[in-house]
Amino acid sequence: MEKVDVAIIGGGPGGATLANILASRGISTALVERQKDFSKEFRGEGLMPSGNEVLEQIGFNLDDVDYRKVEEINLFYKGELEANPEIEFLKKGELRWVSQPQLLEKLIKNASGFDNFIFYRGYKAQDLIYNEDRVDGVLIASGNHEVSIKAKVVIGFDGRTSMVRRKLKFEVKEYKLQPDVLWFKIPYPKKFLPGSQAFFSLFPKSFLVAVPVYDEKLQVGWIIPAGSYGELRKKGQEKWIQYIKEKSPKGFADHLQKCLDEKLISDPFILKMTLDRVKKWNKKGALLLGDAAHTMNAVGGQGLNIALRDAVVCANHLVPLMSGNPSSASLDKAFDAIERERISEVRQVQEIQSRPPKFITLSEFSVQLIVPILRFVFRFNFMTALREATIKRMSRGFSEVKLKI
């Protein structure tokens, strides 16, 4: 049996960042990641100023990590440009679409420089280990090889399908009417979007979001009603690509047709969007963070950044305790303090993220009423302050998060 101070389940950005901080402060840490290859799993890649600030605080830079800056965002409806707002943090190049595999490999490499860090790559967390009625470890396995890890603290940073959340049956608050996202990549359309631009395109009952990514591609997400992909798949790729083309700006439609003709469209995959949070973040001595505690929708560009901020706040509370022999009561008190410090920001981000998906439930008539309002919000100067205040909070955080230990 392996013994450590802290066992973190989930080697995504939040878990890997927390492991870096803890190990660098002399706390023995085990990080468990089920994937051997980080490219095998879809994870958020949009790094906003709020997330980058965390990486800077732990001394991490993006050297040797591929990324692409997003310089502009456009809004289209029925193929016509409705808005192209000037957004300060975009103009400064502060929204970056990073290579998640490279980011994670570098975080793991940094943490591996500490003798008290153990990384279990390709190990799946199977079950929790208990001492009486309190979690004090985790059972993991890679193939037929099982390892029991005993830990003073077990943290579930294991995403929206969290084993820790499932095993402990955490109560969950859900935001209803969450749609599905059909993801695919195409070569970046340089003629249609010179520079490095993202765009939203509103359709009846669905909408498109497209973002330039680090590999000279355009990551396209088509947000569609939940459960509707089955019918689309039956009709075949050409049919649903044709639908997107008919509703899109001509430059993009032409590029998409070329990609279809030349077989340059990546294999699409469907992702069920979820937006929820557990009602209490700790139970029986285990703590949930990141998407395990509060999922963010996949097109909001927030999951990565919120997880990084969770890691810093968690470290601020745990490091002072772990230098001694913390009691169960003191750990539970720290867990509650972490949640209190983070919950306000999480709630506000989720409330904002819950609104766009409702767009796909509207009739075409309702959409035609809403679009002029959006045009009004983006084009008139006296709305600028309100718009910029919301964007600033979403990009830089609703609260201050500083590494204090």
In a domain, 320, yes or no: yes
| pLDDT value of position 49 | 95
Say which residue the tokens 């959006």 belong to.
Answer: 374
In a domain, 82, yes or no: no
| pLDDT value of position 369 | 57
pLDDT per position as a tens digit, 96-140: 999 999 999 999 999 999 999 999 999 999 999 999 999 999 999
Using CB atoms within 10 A of its CB, is residue 365 exposed (0-12), middle (13-18) or buried (19+)?
Answer: exposed
How confident is the model over 16-41, as a mean pLDDT?
A: 94
Per the structure, how many domains does the chain have? 2
Read off the CATH number of the domain in which 306 is found: 3.50.50.60
Say which residue the tokens 């557990």 belong to.
Answer: 278
Q: What percent of the chain has pLDDT over 70?
A: 91
Say which residue the tokens 């965002």 belong to.
Answer: 73
Alpha carbon separation from 155 to 32, 286, 331 (Å, rounded) = 10, 6, 12
Helix then strand count (H, E) for the chain reads 12, 21
Domain span at 123: 2-66+96-174+275-355
One domain, residues 102 and 226 = no
pLDDT, mean over the chain: 90
For the four alpha carbons of 367, 370, 376 and 377, in that order, the dihedral sign comes to negative
One domain, residues 170 and 280 = yes
27 closest CA partner among 226, 318, 224 = 318
What type of residue sits at position 37?
A: D
In a domain, 363, yes or no: no
| pLDDT value of position 7 | 98
One domain, residues 159 and 210 = no
In a domain, 259, yes or no: yes
| pLDDT value of position 392 | 83
Quote the tokens at residue 335.
């867990």
One domain, residues 227 and 164 = no
One domain, residues 123 and 167 = yes
Reported pTM = 0.92
Q: Is 373 helix (H, G, I), strand (E, B) or coil?
A: helix
